[in-house]
Amino acid sequence: MLRQLHQQITAIALATTVFTAILSRPAAAADSFNLHEATITSIQEAFNSGLLNSQKLVQLYLNRINAYDPLLNSIISINPNALAEAAALDAERATSGARSMLMGIPILIKDNIDTSFLPTTAGFLGLKDSLPPDNATIAQKLIDAGAIILGKTSLTEFANYLTSGMPAGYNSMNGYTLNPYNPVLQPNSDGRPLLSPGGSSAGSGSACAANLATICIGTETSGSILSPSNQNSLVGIKPTVGLWSRDGIIPIAASQDTAGPMTRTVTDAAILLGALTGVDPKDSQTNTQIGLAKTDYTPYLKTDALVGAKLGYYTKPNSNTANGAEQLNIFNTAINKIRSLGATVTEIAFTPQNNSSTVLPYEFKRDLNLYLASLGSSAEIQSMEDVYSFINQYLIDNPDPNGPFKYGKVRIDASRLIDLSPSSADTLKYLNDRALDLQNSQTLGIDKFLADNGLDAILYSGTAGAGIGAKAGYPTVIVQAGYQTLNNLNPLGISFLGKAYQEDKLLGYAYAYEQGSLVRQAPSSTPALTGEFITAVPGPLPVMGVGGAFLWSRRLRRRINSGAELINIPLDAILPSQKV
C-alpha cells in the first residue's frame, strides 16, 4: 500500500510539474495545501496544481473572518464583491495565465487607504459613509496586479492623531481591536485589551497574525507599521518615504507618511513591496526613487546575506524589571544568532538628538484639509474644522462620558488653531523644526552613526528606534525575534534600519535572520478550521505513467475551476460591508 501510494504521488508530482511548465505558471505546483500560515508562493503552487482556485481561497478566508473576527474586531469592512472578483480572476487565469505573483491573493488594507468601492473612514464616525471618488494609487496597483482587496482593517482613529491617551487599535467606529496572541480585556478597565495589538495599524497586525488574509498593508508616520508588526509577531516594512505613493491615503504628515507591507514572512513582504513601487505623478516624493527602487526584491533574499555585514546598536531593553530582563534576553539571543550567521555586531554609544517638533501638528492640519477637500462638495466632512464640529455636536447629542469619543480630540484641538499662512510664526517655526528634524535624524543621526562606525545598518529591539527612522524618512524592516512569557505572551521583534532606498539590503539581512531562527509561532487562539488542509487524494487508482497522471491532474483542475468541491466547506454568507 505504501509503495502504491508512493507511486501515485510520484506520478502526480511529475504530472503537475509538466502541467506547470506547459502553462508557464509563476510558481511550482503542489500536491497539498494548508491555508494556515499560507504564503503567496504556497498559494500560487496550489493554484498551479489545481488544488485551489481564488474563489475557494476567498471563501476559506471569509470562513476564518466569520469565525474569529467577532472576537478580534480587526476588520471594519468586507468587500461584498470579493467572490465575484475571484471568479473573474479564475477565468482569466484559465485562459491567459497569471498577471503576477499577487494574482488571486486576498489582501486586507488599512482603512485610511482610499477605495472607491468601500468607505474610507480612518475609524472616524463622521466618515463612516465616505466613498472616495477613486482608488488610492497603491490600491489600484493591487487591483491591476490581480490581488483581491478582501476588506479594510481597523486602526487607531486617524492613525493615532485624533487625541493622546487613546489605546492602540481603538476608534469611534469599531471600538477596540484585540491581539490574537492574548485576546482578552484588561480587568477593571475601560474595555481595552490586556495585550496591545500595537498601532496605529492594529487591525492589519491582528488580522495578518490570525491568518484572516494572506497579506496586509498598514501605514506609518512614526511606528505605526513597526509597532503592530512587533506586537503580532509579523514582518513589517516601513519603506523609504517615496518608495510607495501616498496618493489617496488619509494623512498625518507628508514628511513622514508611508504605507508598507505587514506579512508573516520576509518573502511575502518582499513580493508585496516590489509590486507597489513606482513613480506617481500624484505624489512628487516618489520622484526620489528613480534609479534606486526595485520592482522585485526577492533576488536579495539569501540565507548568507548576513555574512560580512557590519551592524551596530545603540539602544537595548532595560533589564531593571522582569519584563525588561526577558526582553533583553530575547534581544541578546537574536544578536548572537545574527553573529552566528556571519555578521559583526557592535554596541556603540550614541544619543540621538531630539527637539520638540511642530512638524506633525502643522502638517496634519495642512494635509488633512487637502485630503478632505478632495472628497468633493457633497461630502459631509470637507475640512479639519468639520471633524472638530462633528465631534462637538456628537458629544452634545450623546453626552455619555463612555461614548465613542471618550478619549477626546486634543490633537485636533491643537492642530486646528495653527496658522498655515506663509509668513506666520507657526509656519516659520514649522520650517525650522523640519530642518532640525532632518539634521538630527539624518546628518547628525543615522548617517553619522553609520559612517563614523563603518556600519551597514542599525539594529534595535522592537520599535526602540522607530522615531529617528520616521523623521529621517529611512526604511526599517522588523522580523520576529521571540515571545515574552512574563508579559501576557507579548511577541517581540528585531529591527534593521538603514539609509534611504536600502530596502534590498535590509530585506536580505532580515531574511537570513528569519531563516536562521524560524521564530514565528501562529497564535493559538485562531487555529485552523475544518477544510483548510487540502490534498490531492483521488482514491484508488491504477499505477499510472506520466501521461495518465497528467490526464488525472487535468481532470482535477477542471473540477476545481468549475467550482466542484474536493472537501465539504460551508459557504458562509459574506459579511455585511460595514460593521458599526
pLDDT in tens, 44-85: 999 999 999 999 999 999 999 999 999 999 999 999 999 999
In a domain, 379, yes or no: no
Given this model, what pLDDT does residue 487 score?
A: 80
In a domain, 418, yes or no: no
In a domain, 436, yes or no: yes
- The span from the CA of 142 to the CA of 259, in Å, is 13
**CATH number for position 198:** 3.90.1300.10
Percent of the chain residues past pLDDT 70, beyond the cut = 87
Residue 28: pLDDT band (50, 70, 90) is: low
Q: Are the beta carbons of 205 and 468 closer than 8 angstroms?
A: no
Given this model, what pLDDT does residue 27 score?
A: 53
Predicted confidence (pLDDT) at residue 26 exceeds the cutoff of 90:
no
CA proximity to 239, closest of 489, 472, 491: 472
| Element at 457 (helix H, strand E) | strand 457-461
Q: Is 280 helix (H, G, I), strand (E, B) or coil?
A: strand
CA proximity to 520, closest of 482, 550, 489: 482
> For 454-470, what is the mean pLDDT?
98
In a domain, 176, yes or no: yes
In a domain, 208, yes or no: yes
Predicted confidence (pLDDT) at residue 279 exceeds the cutoff of 90:
yes
CA distances from 459 to 50, 331, 348 (A): 43, 10, 11
pLDDT digits (tens, 9 = 90+) for 208-255: 999 999 999 999 999 999 999 999 999 999 999 999 999 999 999 999
Contacts of 400 (CB under 8 A, 6+ apart): none
User: Quick count: other Cβ atoms within 10 Å of Cβ 342?
Assistant: 14
Residue with cell 501562529: 522
- The span from the CA of 461 to the CA of 447, in Å, is 20
Given this model, what pLDDT does residue 529 score?
A: 98
DSSP state of 529: P
Residue 30: pLDDT band (50, 70, 90) is: confident
> For 182-191, what is the mean pLDDT?
95
Residue 12: pLDDT band (50, 70, 90) is: very low
Predicted confidence (pLDDT) at residue 558 exceeds the cutoff of 80:
no
Given this model, what pLDDT does residue 564 score?
A: 29
User: Quick count: other Cβ atoms within 10 Å of Cβ 38?
Assistant: 22
Predicted confidence (pLDDT) at residue 395 exceeds the cutoff of 70:
yes
| Element at 566 (helix H, strand E) | none
More confident residue, 447 or 22: 447
Predicted confidence (pLDDT) at residue 332 exceeds the cutoff of 50:
yes
**The length of the chain, given as a count of residues:** 580
Dmax of the chain from CA atoms?
Answer: 85
Give the domain range for residue 253: 23-357+432-517
In a domain, 580, yes or no: no
| Element at 204 (helix H, strand E) | helix 202-209
In a domain, 81, yes or no: yes
| Number of domain units in the chain | 1
Residue 537: pLDDT band (50, 70, 90) is: low
- The span from the CA of 44 to the CA of 323, in Å, is 41
Which region among 13-22, 357-366, 417-426 has the lowest average model confidence (pLDDT)?
13-22
User: Quick count: other Cβ atoms within 10 Å of Cβ 268?
Assistant: 26
Predicted confidence (pLDDT) at residue 568 exceeds the cutoff of 90:
no
CA proximity to 271, closest of 497, 102, 37: 102
Q: Are the beta carbons of 197 and 228 closer than 8 angstroms?
A: yes
Burial pattern 321-338, b for ≥16 Cβ within 10 A else e, equals: eebbebbbebbeebbebb
- The span from the CA of 132 to the CA of 51, in Å, is 37
- The span from the CA of 377 to the CA of 365, in Å, is 19
Contacts of 300 (CB under 8 A, 6+ apart): 270, 504, 505, 507, 508, 511
More confident residue, 562 or 341: 341
Residue 489: pLDDT band (50, 70, 90) is: confident
More confident residue, 10 or 202: 202
Active centre residues (catalytic): 110, 200, 224
Q: What is the mean pLDDT of the chain?
A: 90
Given this model, what pLDDT does residue 190 score?
A: 94
Percent of the chain residues past pLDDT 90, beyond the cut = 84
Predicted confidence (pLDDT) at residue 571 exceeds the cutoff of 80:
no
Which region among 125-139, 308-322, 532-546 has the lowest average model confidence (pLDDT)?
532-546
Question: Which neighbouring-strand residues pair with 259?
Answer: 219
Residue 158: pLDDT band (50, 70, 90) is: very high
In a domain, 1, yes or no: no
The C-alpha cell at 196 is 496591545
Phi, psi of 128 (to 5 degrees): -60, -25
How many CA within 13 A on the CB side of residue 565? 9
Burial pattern 405-438, b for ≥16 Cβ within 10 A else e, equals: bebebebbeebbebeeeeeeebbeebeebbebbb
- The span from the CA of 435 to the CA of 253, in Å, is 15
> SS3 string of 61-115?
HHHHHHHHHHHHCCEEEECCCHHHHHHHHHHHHHHHCCCCCCCCCEEEEECCECC
